[in-house]
Amino acid sequence: MTDLNREFDGRVAIVTGAAGGVGSAVTRLFADRGAYVVAEDVKPEVAELESYSDRIVSITGDISEEKSATRAVELAMARFGRLDILINNAARIINKRVAEMTIEDWDSVLDVNLRGTFLHSREAMKVMIAANRGTIVNVGSYACHVAFPTIGAYAASKGAIAQLTRVLALEGAEHGIRANVVAPGDIVTGILDDIMSNGRDFLAKHGESTPIGRAAQPEEIAEIIAFAACDRASYMTGSVVMADGGYTAV
């Protein structure tokens, strides 16, 4: 029987967007279960995670930049000698209708959500192919499948992440590499903090429209990400795992 407290014992993971709600929850959970974690974020607050565990090392960088992806992978290899898990979690959103969106608005979302996922996956795959093992979990959204007004760029990025993940799964299979998407619905995090003053309240309220009747807490989504990354999910690849309180089941 698997000891969940040690299921990542000796594994090495990179978590992007690690200063945010889901990212920090994943980072702490992995460290608690034996992993060494490279916690990456554009926000310098990511360094605070190092005080949580000596298994965590932080790195600050814009994930949409190629050098950030190479630095994160190089840090994992230099500090811990291997890379087993990549969690592409960093994301941003802009609420604007398509007719009102600028090119800068569009690029700012696609660069972080999609380009950042591509760059980190590419660099991680190089190491994982050489080791003949690894797993990638990309954090999608129920916006992989459904849409709302004002989230054109976000929905496009998350739909593209689902397709990119399927390709990663096919290309990685012969090398012992799995790739999956965890697609949450509303989570009470600070993702909307830059665009509204009451973002957490908005997400909590919007979550009430799900069959479960509430939004998720970051720790709940972290558990699903951990399952997708662990050996218990060894036969799952190329999947989009919905974690949206039943929203897309209606």
> What is the gyration radius of the CA atoms in the chain, in angstroms?
17
Residue found under tokens 């903090």: 193
Distances from the Cα of 42 to the Cα of 16, 90, 121, angstroms? 9, 9, 18
Long-range contacts of 170-173 (CB under 8 A, 24+ apart): 170/238, 171/125, 172/125, 172/128, 172/129, 172/134, 172/136, 172/237, 173/237
Q: Are 144 and 159 in contact (CB under 8 A)?
A: yes
DSSP codes of every residue in 30-64: HHHTT-EEEEEESSGGGGGGGGT-TTEEEEE--TT
Catalogue the active-site residues: 154
